[in-house]
Amino acid sequence: MKAIPIRKIKVPQSQPESSESFNIRNIQDVLDGKDMVHDLHRHEYYFVLVLQKGNGIHTIDFNPYKVNDHSIFFIRPGQVHELTLQVGSKGFLMEFKNDFYYPADKASRQLLRNASSLNQYEMDVHSFKKAFDLLTSVFVEFGEKKTGYQEVIKANLSIFFIELMRHHKEKTSTSSLPINQYTQEQLDKLVELIETHISSHKEVSQYADMMHLSVYQLNAITKATLGKTCSELINEHIILEAKRYLLATSNQVNQIAFHLGYEDVSYFIRFFKKHTGFTPETFRHNFK
């Protein structure tokens, strides 16, 4: 079965000391006087596009976003996206793996999860400048590679993530109830488990067992954080992964069904149609 194209961080020839876990580039250098057109693919790393000036279309997990000035796009490993970025755009393209910025400190891990939970940030000029200046410092540090540069970059990334979350909280209604840290941590753990085991585990009870919780407790967590049941969350991920393979590969429907753990292809087709309104083949024909 053909896999969705997965891109890895490319080590520039001018950066032989790069750890292959982090890279940041100037958008104008990447474009090199031409439009950027990236077909549907996924990454094994975090992908952050910070645009001081931009024009184009960015589709992330089949949600289209217009590229505007003062916008930031944050893509998590495993998400699929396609990007058209017009020449004249300015900013930075940053890529990093978990092993570069995934400190042992729980608060720092949570900060990365929170910042990457949104795919697009549209910011006012003042907020964007604060975030952009941090990335400018990261770009300089990465280029100069002075003693301790990686630690300086990580420190700047932490501040960058905090700025993103501050901006998000300012735009979020204050009427919404805060989620306690335990509940958020359990949700993050659940999502990671679903992403890892979706082909073999589709029952809420299976995830409850892995997390040493009851089904009732697990549903209470997803209801409090997302407003949906755990079963709905599992089904949404199955459908999303099916869409990814339908649109990013030429695999046959039966191959995709087997990949997702369905031996009965007709059942998978009915399941997909129930949740999307289309058969898999119709969805591929209409949206590819």
* Selection from 68, 29, 23, 63 nearest residue 43 by Cα: 23
Q: Which domain holds residue 247?
A: 181-287
* Selection from 280, 189, 287 nearest residue 241 by Cα: 280
Residue 78, domain member (yes or no): yes
> What's 145's domain CATH number?
2.60.120.280
Q: Are residues 158 and 49 in the same domain?
A: yes
Token pair belonging to 151:
């630690």
Q: Are residues 186 and 157 in the same domain?
A: no
> What's 201's domain CATH number?
1.10.10.60
CA angle 25, 26, 30 (to 5 degrees): 80
pLDDT at 106: 76
pLDDT at 2: 75
Q: Are residues 73 and 187 in the same domain?
A: no
- Name the H helices within the chain: 27-31, 106-116, 125-144, 149-171, 181-197, 204-210, 215-226, 230-248, 253-259, 265-276, 280-287
Residue 249, domain member (yes or no): yes
Token pair belonging to 280:
């898999």
Domain limit, last residue, from 144, 171, 198: 171
Residue 176, domain member (yes or no): no
Q: Are residues 158 and 187 in the same domain?
A: no
Q: Are residues 147 and 276 in the same domain?
A: no
Q: Are residues 58 and 193 in the same domain?
A: no
Residue 29, domain member (yes or no): yes
Q: Are residues 10 and 83 in the same domain?
A: yes
Q: Are residues 87 and 36 in the same domain?
A: yes
Sign of CA dihedral 174, 52, 8, 3: positive
Q: Are residues 145 and 199 in the same domain?
A: no
**Buried b / exposed e along 226-259 (16+ C-beta atoms within 10 A):** eeebbebbbbebbbebbbbbbbbbebebeebbbb
Q: At what angle do helices 280-287 and 230-248 cross, to 10 degrees?
A: 60
Strand partners, 46: 96
Q: Are residues 166 and 98 in the same domain?
A: yes
Q: At what angle do helices 149-171 and 106-116 cross, to 10 degrees?
A: 60
CA distances from 184 to 91, 237, 249 (A): 32, 18, 34
Contact 33, 87 (CB under 8 A): yes
Residue 1, domain member (yes or no): no
Per-residue pLDDT tens over the stretch 102-121 = 767 777 888 898 899 899 99
pLDDT at 177: 53
How are beta strands 56-60 and 120-122 bridged, if at all?
unpaired
pLDDT at 173: 52
Residue 134, domain member (yes or no): yes
pLDDT at 14: 55
The structure tokens 């982090």 sit at 22
Q: Are residues 186 and 103 in the same domain?
A: no
Low-confidence stretches of the chain (pLDDT < 50) are 16-18, 174-175
Domain limit, last residue, from 116, 141, 171: 171
Residue 22, domain member (yes or no): yes
State the Cα–Cα distance between residues 263 and 120, nearest whole angstrom: 37
Domain limit, last residue, from 110, 136, 171: 171
Number of domains in the chain: 2
pLDDT at 4: 81
Residue 111, domain member (yes or no): yes
pLDDT at 93: 96
Q: Are residues 166 and 265 in the same domain?
A: no
* Selection from 57, 55, 51, 101 nearest residue 77 by Cα: 101
State the Cα–Cα distance between residues 118 and 164, nearest whole angstrom: 10
pLDDT at 181: 78
State the Cα–Cα distance between residues 21 and 99, nearest whole angstrom: 7
Per-residue pLDDT tens over the stretch 132-187 = 999 999 999 999 999 999 999 999 999 999 999 988 877 655 445 566 778 988 99
